[in-house]
Amino acid sequence: MLTIIDYQPVNTQTIIGVAASVCTAVSLFPQLVKIIREKKESDISYWMLAILITGLALWVWYGFMDEDYIIIVSNSVSLLINISVLILNIYYRRQHHS
């Protein structure tokens, strides 16, 4: 059963896992902020985003299968940020080319 709070003491492996997850989850956040501020698309490859979004979705699925809340939460946040980058890129590209 998936539990949000695991009552085991925090170890080095958990700290490294959480730190890596946070870095991965927020990696494209600065890009998202830039797109929102400038209201224009960026030069990000759609293929790269599609592959990354697919990988993140698979990580979320894996996290549910393994009942690992760190994987579920971090990859879900990253997935939402990357989907937002993709949607805004498409939106501003269409606005710019209209």
Q: What is the pLDDT of residue 40?
A: 85
Does residue 13 lie within any of the structural domains? no
Range of the domain at 84: 43-98
Q: Give pLDDT tens digits for 23-46.
A: 888 888 999 999 999 988 888 889
Does residue 24 lie within any of the structural domains? no
At 17, which amino acid appears?
G
Does residue 54 lie within any of the structural domains? yes
Would you say residue 79 has pLDDT above 90? yes
Does residue 31 lie within any of the structural domains? no
Spell out the residues 6+ positions from residue 49 whose beta carbon is closer than 8 angstroms to its own: 82, 85, 86, 89
Does residue 35 lie within any of the structural domains? no
Q: What is the pLDDT of residue 85?
A: 93
Q: pLDDT > 90: what percent of the chain?
A: 46
The pTM is what? 0.79
The DSSP element (H or E) to which 54 belongs, if any, is helix 46-66
Average pLDDT, the chain: 87
- What is the average per-residue pLDDT within 72-93? 93
Q: What is the pLDDT of residue 58?
A: 95
Q: What is the pLDDT of residue 76?
A: 95
Q: What is the pLDDT of residue 13?
A: 83
Look at the chain and report how many structural domains it folds into. Answer: 1
The total of other beta-carbon atoms located within 10 Å of residue 71's CB is 19
